Chain A
Amino acid sequence: MKKLLVVVFIATMLISCQSEPDNLLLLDELVVSTNYDPGATFGSYATYAIPTDTIGFISSSSNDTILVSSAENRYYPREVLEQVMQNLNDRQYTRVARNESPDLGVNVYVVQDLNISQQVIYPNYYYPYYYGYGSYYSYPYVNTYAYNTGALVVEIVDLKNVTIDNKVKVIWNASMGDVYSTLDLVDQSVKAIDQAFAQSNYLVHEN
């Protein structure tokens, strides 16, 4: 029996050596995913509209629907909006006001997914060494784990081809995450936006 226990112990030790990668290396840049509508002719659009200081906020744990630039959030909304504008301008698109019939609308928002899981813990029985002391029992308790995940999303909407029933189509989007585990949120988001445009070379206005 002792030998079997030794074998089980050694096997358990071996399996517990299984490791995961260095998070600091993986978290220093956001994952940048872009998608586009193959039917869209990106060169045919000339103008776009975009907010200046406000981005959307979709959360499973908050009632807020927007994020407004402030010192508290290091002017994050403005920083990301300006970077999107910079990239669109570099691609020969022209920013206009919303009431100037832009060809493209740009939505920028953060999606927060707050995952909460719970686990019921059943503590072990502890029997006293001395008779007459009475056994001690801990009641089960619930451990709650919460972890935040989130992505910065940029969408480009075709306002030039609104359908008869007034619907618009997203012709490009970029999803960048995770924005809740970053080492430097503003800097990494700005770089991720640049990367999103860099891997979308079709996104350019043709004069």
Chain B
Amino acid sequence: MKTRNILLVFFLFPAFFAEAQENYFYVNWNGNIPLSSTEYIDNFSSRGARIGYRKFIGMNKRFSAGIDFNWAQYDQYKPKETFVNETGAITTDYYNYIYQYGLTVSSQYYFPLGDNDRFFPYVGLGLGANRNEYTVYYNIYTDTDEVFGFLARPEAGILVGVGESRKVGFIAVVHYDFSTNSAERFDYSNFSSVGFQLGIVMLQW
């Protein structure tokens, strides 16, 4: 109960009581490496992206709250292999794929750097839903398992304003994703990854 109240305050209070403040929209490239289900895929994936909208809370811009949507694709080729079962065997080469989509509401805390209004290092937490589609491609055939789960994403990043007007900037983020997506067909009880993001920020969107 206590935890739930803290989460409510963390996410809802800033959003509802925000005074008219600055905000930003960002588009990030996202590279990820899975930490779980690594026998399924352990490749680094450069196919990923995230977009989001955040609004600063309070006059001193220490907090922001917003919404993030991300997409990532993991894939790995597996050479020919024979799988033996009770009454036979199957031999094929194949590709393992994970198509991942996440939607989170998030809140960030920005560390003060004196009077500097160019750099905004922050830590944040996003909570939401994750959809993973596990697909095995072999010859012309596919096996697919589509699963949903709860997603938690702590992250640390920095916003860098550019130019005099500070209307545009850059963002760099490291994040850890943990989701409860369990794919019984592929024997996975959760999915986690770490990622790195680089992107463009449009301030006062």
**Which residues on A are within 8 Å of B, measured CB to CB?**
3, 7, 10-11, 14-15, 17-21, 25-27, 29-38, 149, 177-178, 181, 195, 199-200
Contacts and interface: CB of A to CB of B under 8 A. Distances in A.
Contacts of A25: 77, 93
Contacts of A200: 89
Secondary structure of the A contact surface, majority rule: mixed
Secondary structure of the B contact surface, majority rule: strand
Interface of B: 25, 27, 47, 49, 51, 53, 69, 71, 73, 75, 77, 80, 82, 84, 86-95, 97, 99, 101, 137-141, 205
A27 B140 contact: yes
Contacts of A178: 139-141
A3 B84 CA distance: 54
Given A15-B71, A29-B92, A21 B137 contact: yes
Given A17-B71, A26-B138, A32 B90 contact: yes
B28 to A, nearest CB: 10
A31 B91 CA distance: 6
Given A7-B51, A29-B80, A18 B99 contact: yes
Nearest to A195: B91
A21 B75 contact: yes
B174 to A, nearest CB: 20
A21 B95 contact: yes
B104 to A, nearest CB: 14
10 contacts: A10-B51, A11-B69, A17-B47, A21-B77, A21-B137, A25-B93, A31-B91, A32-B91, A149-B140, A178-B140
Contact of B87 (A11, A21, A29, A35): A35
Nearest to A13: B49
A27 B89 CA distance: 19
Contact of A31 (B47, B69, B84, B138): B138
Given A26-B94, A149-B140, A181-B140, 8 more contacts: A7-B25, A11-B69, A15-B71, A17-B47, A17-B71, A33-B89, A34-B89, A199-B82
Contacts of B101: 15
B139 A33 contact: no
Given A17-B49, A17-B71, A21-B97, A26 B137 contact: yes
A26 B93 contact: yes
Contacts of A37: 87
A27 B84 CA distance: 22
Most A-side CB within 10 Å, residue of B94, B137, B139: B139
A14 B141 contact: no
A168 B205 CA distance: 75
A16 to B, nearest CB: 10
Nearest to B49: A14
B117 to A, nearest CB: 24
Contacts of A18: 71, 73, 99
Contacts of B53: 7
Given A15-B71, A25-B93, A31 B27 contact: no
A75 B193 CA distance: 52
Query: 5 closest pairs, A vs B, by CB?
Result: A35-B88, A21-B95, A31-B92, A199-B89, A33-B90
Nearest to B90: A33
Most B-side CB within 10 Å, residue of A11, A37, A38: A11
Nearest to B75: A21
A26 B49 CA distance: 27
A34 B95 CA distance: 21
A19 to B, nearest CB: 7
Contacts of A27: 139-140
B71 A31 contact: no
B84 to A, nearest CB: 8
A36 B82 CA distance: 16
